[in-house]
Structure 1
Amino acid sequence: MLTTSGKRQLGRPVSIVGAGMSRFGAFADKDSRDLFVEAFQDMLDTLDQGIDVQDIECAYVGNYSSDLFEHQGHTAPIIADWLGMTPMPVTRIENACASSGSALREGVMAIASGLYDIVLVGGMEKMTSLPTEGVTDVLATAADGLYEVPAGLTFPGIFGAIATAHMDRYDTNLDHLLKVAIKNHENGALNPKAQFNVTIQSLMERRMTRAQERGQPVPEYVTEMDFLNDPGANPWVAWPLRLYDCAPITDGAACVLLVASELAHNFTGKPIDIAGTGQASGRPLHDADELTSLSAAKAAASQAYEMAGVTADDIQVAEVHDCFTIAEIIASEDLGFFAPGEGGRAVDEGRTALHGDKPINTSGGLKAKGHPVGASGVGQVAEIFHQLRGEAGERQVNNPNLALGLTHNVGGTGGTCVVNILRRTS
């Protein structure tokens, strides 16, 4: 609703009282509903007081394309059935890779409107049932099928073009991209639920050991950069992007429990409030004003900052949509953390590292944690939830005053962006 000052605010406050995730990875023996149940059970474990599932009044589930990945449409009532929640209304939300970020906004607005008090929001995707080329074809449907897809553009090709434009306009270079990958793998190695729970350093050492065991020439790597600059270990995908610049194909699910804030302490002593939320649309890449920024991200961030009454400088930890390494750099600029063209340098200087002044993707990001596209947005929210509660384990941001975090979830070639700001108040 609009206040008398013209500022957009929620009709009533909304809080997150629980958050959970399945393990992210490749699971031949699980489909998306299995993964969602796993995430739901993990979420229940974070509730201090527990809950009768029949008290949950509705649910919104983000899912990009179970229709094509699993040959299963109409997934919403299946989730209600598997959680034992029928006849509770469940709605599936599709907004490409921003599906569950969009689902979260729907859940927030359902409570803010006064219609419901307790809402489950989640996301899920089972991608590994298809070969890589099949996954590439499915993901391409998130681009403009009339103009972009017939031109032969895949998402690595699209973000390769974006990276090329950014490098041409600014001082961004290949090393900046690779250092994003190194950082996010270091964070992912600290996340037991990450698909790539391993550092680039460990992958480098593993390759050297394997060559020695096979009696093959041992690569003379000294640093991670040597490894990442070896085309045999890190082949080109779409210049200037290489294998380790790309998020993986992932199976996974995540969910959170939203409640009206006045009820939050019935479930936990450490609720996390939704301080601000924003969503915007942008034109397809072929019709965008520029390639070095996503207009939808800037617009969504502006909405969220205004609602929360904060600025980019106030954000203490963020999860951004790093489907490719260049996407993290551009996100850090679009969100106002760094000036245009300064995102790569910030990575180089360690500012976005776990113990930097603006830690980004402490979970490992989509790059290392994994990118089950329909689940990624809520997975980001789960990470910020745990960070603000001081429950992120070895990857916990070392800031006793940590109270404000942000998530940034993008769909397609920037056609959709959802930004949420979370606040710890107790």
Structure 2
Amino acid sequence: MSLREVAMTGIATTPFGKHLDRTLGSLAAEAVTAALDDAGLTPGDVGSAVFSNAAAGVLSGQEMIRGQVALKGTGLEGIPILNTENACASGSSAAHLAWLSVASGQVDVAIAVGAEKLFHADKQRSFAAIESGTDLSLNRDGEDVEGGSVMMGAYAAAARAYAAAHGDITEALAAIAVKNRGFAADNPHAQFRAPITRDDVEASRPVADPLKLLTCSPLTDGAAALVFTAARPGDRVRVAVSTLVSYREGDSVVERASAQAYRRSGLAPSEIDVFQLHDACAYAEMVQYEQIGIAEPGKGAAAVLEGRTGRDGDAPVNTDGGLLSRGHALGATGLAQLAELGRQVRGEAGPRQVEGVRHALSVNSGGWMGGDYATSVATLLVAA
């Protein structure tokens, strides 16, 4: 089937952080209104909507029709509304479906909306919601973090195995945290913006060796929305390709998703000007340097220590602060990643703008199957 060219014409993110006084619907509505305004469209122009949320079922009990409930009052009532729940990759999965609905010719305008409220009076409920995105049938020896996140235990176990094979990565993990906070300092929607140092990282509370508090993404509330339209003259950002893959024993979903994106777009990793990677912890970002082709196997630590993934490097990563500093609002995360890349391609990223961006890649992954993510979505944007 031939696909139409699709543009990303509307971009919006709410501030990320602790929004105890806000409802999920109010956050979603804020993002919808801003994204449609950015696209110069009204709710009546939208042919379909895809709503992304990962944790409301556990935290609030709202299941099955989350999008229909959250989008009440936005003007989107009555149109097809799909709900996506795909762990931490829920947002990019929503973007994938919205893009596909336009690319296939089903509609001319689609909106992807992601919203999440992770803060809860009982923090263990929040951790339980996150844990529900892991394969509960697996033995968790070595993964549990007392009073905390099973996911961070899994990342820590992987980081220890990596360090045993390739050498100490403590400095690299701290460098990633410092780098991402430096980018977040210039992002008014980031949850944490105060600059940090390597000493700050080292002094922060241990989570699971070798991870410290400042090398782990925080609980976050927030929303993001993107508008996709059939490409027209004058559009500035085009979706070159979106690929979605799921867990398969024996290989990496990040490698497969990004490899498919490179192959279908005809671009190589060296041709990508800016990246968004799923830095649920600093180790996750570092190992993905290798999985997406920024660094050779075993050389991920060198990539950040040499400055390659920083503001002035050849492969800047997570220019909005990433999950570590922007915050990880599960269902909104993948959309927020793409919002940042859209701004970079437009040249509208302000002080964090990378010069001359024409190609931008987001890789958003989610869930955990014991040795790898359950799913991964790679989306490649290009200047129109």
Scaled by the length of structure 2, the TM-score of the pair is 0.94
* Aligned-pair CA distance for 1:277: 1.5
Relative to structure 1, is the Cα distance of residues 148 and 37 closer, same or farther in structure 2, using a 3 angstrom cutoff? farther
User: Hey, what's the Cα distance between the residues in 2 that align with 1:52 and 1:26?
Assistant: 29
Output the CA distance in 1 between the equivalents of 2:208 and 2:332: 25
| Aligned equivalent of 1:192 | 188
What amino acid sits opposite 2:154 in the alignment? I
Code of the aligned partner of 2:297: P
Q: 1:338 to 1:387 in 2, by over 3 A?
A: same
Amino acid at match of 2:160: T
Distance of aligned partners of 1:375 and 1:12 in 2 relative to their CA distance in 1, 3 Å threshold:
same
**AA aligned opposite 1:111:** V
Are residues 1:411 and 2:366 paired?
yes
1:146 and 2:103 matched: no
- Counterpart mapping for 1:234-383 below 5 A: 234-262=204-232, 265=233, 269-283=234-248, 289=250, 295-383=252-340
Gaps of 5+ in 1: 2-9, 201-223
Report if the CA contact (8 A) 1:80-1:87 is conserved: no
Residue 258 of structure 1: SS of its match in structure 2?
A: strand
Tell me which residue corresponds to 2:160: 164
Which residue identity is paired with 2:255? Answer: K
Judging changes above 3 Å, is the alpha-carbon distance between structure 1 residues 151 and 360 closer, same or farther for their aligned structure 2 residues?
A: closer
Q: Which runs of 4+ in 1 moved over 4 A?
A: 148-152
The CA distance in 2 between the partners of 1:100 and 1:172, in whole Å, is 34
Deviation per CA, 1:303-357, whole angstroms, max 9, x where unpaired? 1111111011111001100000000011111111111111111101111111211
**Post-superposition shift, 1:270?**
4.1
Query: Which residue of the other structure, out of 168, 175, 198, is the alignment partner of 1:225?
Result: 198
1:356-385 deviations in whole A, cap 9, x for unaligned?
111000000000000000110000000000
Match of 1:56 in 2: 46
- CA distance in 2 between counterparts of 1:41 and 1:391 reads 19
Q: Does 1:178 align with 2:174?
A: yes
Aligned counterpart, 1:43? 35
Cα pair distance change 1:328/1:152, threshold 3 Å: closer
* Match status 1:24 vs 2:16: yes
Q: Does structure 2 retain, via aligned residues, the 8 Å contact 1:25–1:251? A: yes
Q: Structure 2 CA distance, aligned partners of 1:403 and 1:361?
A: 16
Amino acid at match of 2:348: E
Indicate if the aligned counterparts of 1:177 and 1:245 stay in contact, CA closer than 8 A.
yes
Letter of the aligned partner of 1:227 in structure 2? D
2:29 and 2:83 map into 1 onto residues whose CA distance is: 16
- Alignment-mate amino acid for residue 341 of structure 1: G
Matched, 1:137 2:122: no
Q: Are the counterparts in 1 of residues 262 and 268 from structure 2 also a CA contact under 8 Å?
A: yes
Shift of 1:151: 7.6
Query: Structure 2 CA distance, aligned partners of 1:424 and 1:66?
Result: 35
Distance 1:148 1:142, change over 3 A: farther
The more displaced of 124-133 and 149-158 is 149-158
Change (3 A) 1:147 1:86: same
Q: Which among 42, 52, 57 is matched to residue 67 of structure 1?
A: 57
**Matching residue of 1:209:** none
Q: How many residues align?
A: 374
User: Is residue 270–residue 389 contact of structure 1 (8 Å, CA) maintained in 2?
Assistant: no
Unaligned runs of 5+ in 2: 145-149
Residues 1:347 and 1:110: Cα distance change in structure 2 (over 3 Å):
same
3-state DSSP of counterpart to 2:72: helix
Mapped to 2, the partners of 1:172 and 1:336 lie a distance apart of: 21
What's the TM-score, normalizing by structure 1?
0.85
Write the distance in 2 (CA, Å) between the matches of 1:228 and 1:141: 29
Identity %: 33
Residue-by-residue CA offset, 1:271-292 (whole Å, 9 max, x unaligned): 3111122111124xxxx54xxx
Measured after TM superposition, the shift of residue 36 of structure 1 is: 0.9
SS at match of 1:29: coil
In terms of Rg, which structure is larger? 1
CA distance in 2, matches of 1:119, 1:163: 39
Root-mean-square deviation (CA, aligned residues, Å) is: 1.6
Deviations along 1:215-236, whole A, 9 cap, x unmatched? xxxxxxxxx2233222xxx111
Matches within 5 A, 1:379-394: 379-394=336-351
Measured at CA, do residues 104 and 419 of structure 1 come closer, stay the same or move farther in structure 2, by a change above 3 Å? Answer: same
C-alpha distance in 2 between matches for 1:198 and 1:225? 13
